[in-house]
């Protein structure tokens, strides 16, 4: 009898496999289920594969509502990578994913989030809400890059919209104690803080402002740039003077 059960279990282990609509989780070091606290720990070399996403991590804490299948939140720790069928890629030391409100938080050095052509990196944390489009990139080496714009700063927060497979930045606030940088196809902008609102197509730069375009360099304390016409106005609050440098070209 012992051998029959062992053989049956062996074969069921061999034949267990994910069908469409199911989620398959494998671990090297077991699962610890805490029924009272309503979570389970997946330990060592964890792989979660479903129709929508694929997640790999060293350790995963999965919170559930009613039963084990009813997952509400996944907290992953150690070498975490997440891929979704909708083109989302994320990686970091830790990833906290709330499946109810679609809140994704990535922590640690080399944190990365890619949503089609929207690319976010940081050495501390990235927070994105897939429902509202709100995001926050915080910490050293924080960067937001799309096909049209490249932004660096200690804190980059705002909102993006998703149209088909195109992610577009709608609202933006960038801060850094030393310097932020915003690069478009034609402009290279520096300041301590910047704000952008897609509704009126205006970028505002605050403190230690410097704008570079072709061979032109303009410095001041405040700048207002129209992203459609690419015209800008630079002012200096303290001295009332704006410094303009025009470099000679070979022609």
* Binding interface with other proteins (CB under 8 A): 1-2, 5-6, 9-10, 12-13, 16, 18, 21-36, 42, 67-71
Contact, 84 vs 116, CB < 8 A?
no
Tokens of 78: 């150690």
Least Cβ distance, residue 131 to other proteins (angstroms): 23
Least Cβ distance, residue 85 to other proteins (angstroms): 17
Contact, 23 vs 29, CB < 8 A?
no
Choose between 29 and 230: whose C-beta lies nearer to other proteins: 29
Choose between 23 and 129: whose C-beta lies nearer to other proteins: 23
Choose between 50 and 79: whose C-beta lies nearer to other proteins: 50
Choose between 53 and 190: whose C-beta lies nearer to other proteins: 53
Q: How far apart are CA 45 and CA 129, in angstroms?
A: 27
Least Cβ distance, residue 146 to other proteins (angstroms): 35
Least Cβ distance, residue 68 to other proteins (angstroms): 4
Least Cβ distance, residue 208 to other proteins (angstroms): 53
Least Cβ distance, residue 103 to other proteins (angstroms): 21
Q: What is the DSSP track for 46-92?
A: EEEE-SSEEEEEEEEEEEESSSTT-EEEEEEEEEEEEEETTSEEEEE
Choose between 51 and 230: whose C-beta lies nearer to other proteins: 51
Choose between 26 and 147: whose C-beta lies nearer to other proteins: 26
Q: How far apart are CA 106 and CA 137, in angstroms?
A: 9
Q: What are phi and psi of 126, to 5 degrees?
A: -130, 130
Half-sphere exposure of 75 (CA within 13 A, CB side): 7
Contact, 93 vs 107, CB < 8 A?
yes
Q: How far apart are CA 231 and CA 3, in angstroms?
A: 81
Choose between 22 and 235: whose C-beta lies nearer to other proteins: 22
Q: How far apart are CA 180 and CA 242, in angstroms?
A: 20
Least Cβ distance, residue 51 to other proteins (angstroms): 12
Contact, 157 vs 191, CB < 8 A?
no
Q: How far apart are CA 135 and CA 167, in angstroms?
A: 12
């Amino acid at each position: 009898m012992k051998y029959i059960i062992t053989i049956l279990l062996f074969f069921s282990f061999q034949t267990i496999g994910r069908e469409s609509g199911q989620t398959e989780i494998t671990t090297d070091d077991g699962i610890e289920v805490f029924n009272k606290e309503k979570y389970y720990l997946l330990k060592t070399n964890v792989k979660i594969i479903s129709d929508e996403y694929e997640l790999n991590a060293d350790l995963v804490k999965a919170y559930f509502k009613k039963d084990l299948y009813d997952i509400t939140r996944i907290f992953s720790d150690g070498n975490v990578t997440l891929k979704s069928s909708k083109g989302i890629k994320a990686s970091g030391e830790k990833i906290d994913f709330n499946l109810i409100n679609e809140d994704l938080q990535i922590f640690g050095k080399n944190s990365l989030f890619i949503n089609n052509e929207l690319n976010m990196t940081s050495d501390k944390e990235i927070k994105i809400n897939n429902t509202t489009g709100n995001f926050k990139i915080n910490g050293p080496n924080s960067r937001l890059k799309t096909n049209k714009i490249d932004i660096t700063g200690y804190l980059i927060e705002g909102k993006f919209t998703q149209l088909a497979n195109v992610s577009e930045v709608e609202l933006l606030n960038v801060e850094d104690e030393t310097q932020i940088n915003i690069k478009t196809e034609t402009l290279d902008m520096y300041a301590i803080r910047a704000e952008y609102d897609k509704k009126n197509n205006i970028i505002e730069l605050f403190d230690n402002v410097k704008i570079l375009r072709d061979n032109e360099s303009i410095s001041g304390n405040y700048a207002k740039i129209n992203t459609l016409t690419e015209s800008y106005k630079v002012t200096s609050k303290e001295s009332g003077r704006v410094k303009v440098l025009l470099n000679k070209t070979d022609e």
